[in-house]
Amino acid sequence: MRPLTADSADHRQGLAERVRYPVGAFATVAVALYLTVWWSTRYLPRHSEYPIREPLSFRGAGLLEGWVRFDGGWYHSIVTDGYFHVPGEQSSIAFFPGYPTAVAAMSRLVGDVYLAGILVTLLCGLALAVVFYRWCVERSSVPVARTALLLLLVFPYAWYLYGAMYADALFVLCAVGAFALLGRDRPVLAGLVAAVATATRPVGIAMVVGLVAVLLEQRGAVRITWLDRLHLARTSPRPDSQAGSETDAPAGAPITAGDDSPLPGRSRRLLGVEFALGRLRPRDAGVLLSVGGLVGWMLYQWVAFGDPTLFVEVQSAPGWDQGQGPSTWFKEPWIERLGDLPTHLRGGDETWPALTYTLGVTFQAALVFGFLALVPVVMRRIGWGYGVYVVALVAIPVLGSKDWQGTGRYVLGAFPVFLALAWWLVDGGHRWIRNAWLAVSAAALVFLTSAYARGYYLA
């Protein structure tokens, strides 16, 4: 047996802290939200227009029933009956297979599909907290990493990470995991994990774009000179012992020659961008495995239904009305709702559902613009590759949503933004803003979780 040295003891202590803190933080928020869901479904009125007015019946429904809403019924149908497509109608083929596959596997253990869906989400959320916190610690100080984790865990739409029968927790876990593996120079494993993400959510294509961009930056194969000069994370000291010495670069930091000197090997410069693709290695192509989930899903649709892009077409079915085109891209339905807002404000109870819907999607629009506003900070502190990923991930649902609905949960995948915001709050000395931000965000999370449990369509 190898003797326990001071270094190994410190390593174990650091590793334990990186697990203990995120698990404790996640468990604390989870308990609060599970009590909120139980109390809301038991004592508060449900949405009058929600299709399911009676509680669902499944194992543990007395406590957990409020976590199964909206798309949860679709996933239950996929697990129990498989995929179907009816031309011109809403069909289960719109939902990617990653999450229902995981739910089907879990249901074999617990004997109930709804309970399995809740458990898959809960376990993915817990694992996400640990992986995301470790990713943050490797790039920042412990106080910044803790703030970033809390920002994620109490994000107003974070209930999708705790039990809601949706695919978002699995997707975000795979996204963070893939980038963490790439930062540790495991491009093949990163590509395989990202393939699960592209098989889970339509926005998974952003994973392919993001992994390639981060890899090119990490290898120094593409160097943007003016961004290198702004890249504070590469030159800032790391103040805590767990992050390493002050001269250590963050994990996954770009390999560059420093200053404006050319990269080693043959390179070309164009418009302030230096290309040295010779720095790439054959195994770096492993990140391209990330497209495998999407390709596999398209092949299935081609074989089963004769159309590899059927999942896009079905989005335009009546009731979803998410067809591609200028009306969706420029948010005409949302603009019309804003025009009706004064009428809704004066309309009393009769216009209350329309008013709350308009306010909800407008809040999600504000969050999207807030995330995009932080992209320069992401590029400066973490790297331009991560900035490319955030832009790609946000752009896909923005172009696909007719009125911003759903973007509140989609941006959970833009995880580098939480670290960028934490840097500004902690290193910028904005402690009171940090505390107020977390308190308001947590209150919004509890409020929206309660509304979701009672049948309000929020994202």
DSSP string, 71-101: HHHHHHHHHHH-----TTS--GGGS-SHHHH
Length of the chain: 459
Q: Which residues pair with 268 in a beta bridge?
A: 275
Look at 4-8, 163-167, 388-392 and tell me which has the smallest mean pLDDT.
Answer: 4-8
| Average pLDDT in the chain | 86
Residue 422 and residue 145 in contact, taking contact as beta carbons nearer than 8 Å: yes
Confidence of residue 239 (pLDDT cuts 50, 70, 90): very low
Query: What is the Cα–Cα distance from 330 to 104, expressed in whole angstroms?
Result: 38
Look at residue 284 and tell me whether its pLDDT is greater than 70: yes
Taking alpha carbons only, the member of 48, 53, 78, 49 closest to residue 65 is 53
Query: What is the pTM (predicted TM-score) of this model?
Result: 0.88
Look at residue 68 and tell me whether its pLDDT is greater than 50: yes
Residue 131 and residue 89 in contact, taking contact as beta carbons nearer than 8 Å: no
Look at 42-51, 77-86, 286-295 and tell me which has the smallest mean pLDDT.
Answer: 42-51
Distances (CA, A) of 22 to 119, 146, 185, 227, 285: 18, 8, 24, 32, 33
Query: What is the Cα–Cα distance from 57 to 112, expressed in whole angstroms?
Result: 11
Check residue 317 and report its DSSP letter: S
Query: What is the Cα–Cα distance from 252 to 410, expressed in whole angstroms?
Result: 25
Please state the domain extents for the chain.
Answer: 17-453
Look at residue 364 and tell me whether its pLDDT is greater than 50: yes
